[in-house]
Structure 1
Amino acid sequence: MLDIVIEARQATLGPGMAVRRILPFRLRRMVGPFIFMDHAGPIAMPAQLTTAMDVLPHPHIGLSTVSYLFGGQVTHRDSLGVEQIIRPGEVNWMTAGSGIAHSERFEDPAALTGGQLEMIQTWVALPEKDEEASPAFNNYQPEQLPVFTDTGVWMRLIAGNAFGLQNNVKTHSPLFYVHVVLETGARFGLPREHAERGIYVAKGSLEVAGRTYTPGQLLVFTKATDPIIIAKEPTTLMLLGGEPLGERFIWWNFVSSRKERIEQAKADWQAGRILLPPTDNQEYIPLPADKSKPAGSPPPEALS
């Protein structure tokens, strides 16, 4: 059974950086452990304006950020001292745990002027036992990620397990995250082993039970359903979900099972107890007021 269809809303992260925000949604805060999802691009911008898109250093707790690019490149720097250029097809998994700060810089003007930059960023909430884990960052190259092909179907397992595939991307709870490309007329399904399952239409269109769905829509299904997905045209999908973790609170860039931990994170960022990236520490995003909309993060009131 189709549980809900979530329509992406436009959010602005900075000058020229409008994204489609899919999660969180007021009627469906999470799908499995996934608590946040943004789709940026394709973006084209004059070279002289590219630095305006940079996401300055900002903090996270209680989650893992997952960056996955369709095109272009982004430079990641964090308070662990990691500096990583993120390229298409890689998985970049940053676990914030007890607290980390990072920046995302767009330092390749050619990718922006050519309209190549396109990326999906998700946040995965951590189980309570791992919410205060030590921060970590891991980059996984495309050759480390299994790919499956069939007639009219290509898919890459980003993380977790699905369709009999698994990889070594370190996760903290049962989940799946898959990049799927379908040719016109191809038929596809969802992995059956997970309690909560979603299909995000990134490009193209698909048909499920006689209805057509288009880019920017997230279809969430119950476990008992085994939908048949039919591509109406060349279509790109992101499949995601897993086992639910229970209630989570989200404010700005902070996620926790405890409200008081969110308050502590606010105080820690204001007091400088969450360190800045050592190679990107000259500027940062300050803690917003409750009604502000800081660049690079969901405003506290964005659950609409």
Structure 2
Amino acid sequence: MNDKKILRVIPAEKVNMGGIILDQPLPASGIDQIDPFLLIHHWDSELPGGQHQRDVGVGPHPHRGFSPVTFVFKGDLQHRDSLGNDATVTSGGTQWMHAGRGITHSERPSAAMAESGGPLEFIQFWVNSPAAHKMDNAFYLPLSNEETPRIEDEGYHLAIVAGIYEGVKGPAPTLSPMTLLRGGIKADFSCEVSLPSSFNTMIYLLDGELQINNIEARAKDLVQLGQDGEAISILAKKDTRFIVLSG
């Protein structure tokens, strides 16, 4: 099995989204998208508490023709949309939505969290829809941590959100072949990840430090891998949380 070549390491940039400061590794300077992934935003903040829900998070806004996906790592997010869906996902869960021909939604911390405060961390990324599915009916699926299967070994774990990995099928319904993983690895441990050579693959580090196929990556770096192999060797220099987006 051949190693996937590291094409580039992209440090996230700070962006201001309506007064909210986020880390954005994609798009980046000179890189509009890495097909089928259009955008990655990493929100990591401490809510002060004593707030109304309407004053935090992201209010109603429309989407069309792609899938906004949110991985929640700390705190919670309540999703409401124009289809009548209303669900709150907590740490380890996923908000999965296909915008299709059009949908309006909001994502905010729950009223209880807005009042109590505390850490809120999530990643939202956008997956482009194939042309044949851009005008499908919109749909939404909340997934809890308990509904997301995991592979665990000494020093690391991988949660399979979408696709099939090592015979384990993720619950999220994708419109094109892809594998989406959430991972964690302890310092000085290593693991091997294998993904199809035909997939565009990225690894984003929420924190920590990794050596990926002998290339160093640090917190809030996005590592883009090529289509010339299948194998990814990961060695943790520090305790690290990461996601794998491949499709």
Give the TM-score normalised by structure 2.
0.89
| Cα shift at 1:7 | 1.4
User: In the alignment, which residue of structure 2 is the partner of 1:208?
Assistant: 212
* Residue 149 (1) aligns with residue 152 (2): yes
Identity %: 28
Q: Give me the whole-angstrom Cα distance separating, in 2, the residues matched to 1:189 and 1:35.
A: 26
Q: Confirm whether residue 135 of structure 1 aligns to residue 122 of structure 2.
A: no
Say if 2:239 is the partner of 1:241: no
Instruction: Indicate which of 43, 47, 56 corresponds to 1:44.
Output: 47
> Which shifted more, 106-115 or 137-146?
106-115
Q: Deviations over 1:70-109 (max 9, x none)?
A: 1111111101011111211222211101111111222345
Instruction: For structure 2, list consecutive stretches of 5 or more residues without a partner in the other structure.
Output: none
* Stretches of structure 1 lacking an aligned partner (at least 5 in a row): 243-304
TM-score w.r.t. the length of structure 1 is 0.73
Determine if contact 2:72/2:123 at 8 Å carries over to the other structure.
Answer: yes
CA contact (8 A) 1:159 1:167 kept: yes
Partner residue, 2:174: 171
Equivalent residue number for residue 29 of structure 1: 32
The alpha carbon displacement at 1:210 in A equals: 4.4
Alignment RMSD: 2.0
Bigger helix fraction: 1
C-alpha distance in 1 between matches for 2:83 and 2:160: 27
Give the drift of 1:112: 7.9
Secondary structure of the residue aligned to 2:193 is coil
Which of 76, 99, 118 is the matching residue for 2:102?
99
Distance 1:211 1:173 in 2: 29
- Does structure 1 conserve the Cα–Cα contact (< 8 Å) formed by 2:49 and 2:118? no
Contact 1:73 1:111 in 2 (8 A): no
> Hey, what's the Cα distance between the residues in 2 that align with 1:154 and 1:167?
14
Identify if the C-alpha distance between structure 1 residues 130 and 216 changes in structure 2 by more than 3 Å, giving closer, same or farther. same
Q: 1:4 aligns with which of 8, 12, 25?
A: 8
Give the conservation status (yes or no) of the 8 Å contact 2:190–2:236: yes
Q: CA deviation at 1:25?
A: 2.5
Tell me if structure 2 keeps the 8 A contact 1:192–1:223.
Answer: no
SS at match of 2:45: strand
Larger Rg computed on CA atoms: 1
Q: 1:104 & 1:227 partners in 2: Cα distance? A: 34
Q: CA deviation at 1:169?
A: 1.5
Of the structure 1 ranges 82-91 and 160-169, higher mean CA displacement relative to structure 2 is found in 160-169
Across the two proteins, how many residue pairs are aligned to each other? 241
Q: Per-residue CA shift, 1:249-279, capped at 9, x if unaligned? A: xxxxxxxxxxxxxxxxxxxxxxxxxxxxxxx
Distance 1:97 1:192, change over 3 A: same
Deviations 1:47-78 (A, max 9, x none): 24764333121110110111111111111110
Question: Which of 52, 57, 70 is the aligned partner of 1:67?
Answer: 70
> Residues 7 and 203 from structure 1, CA distance in 2 versus in 1: closer, same or farther, beyond 3 angstroms?
same
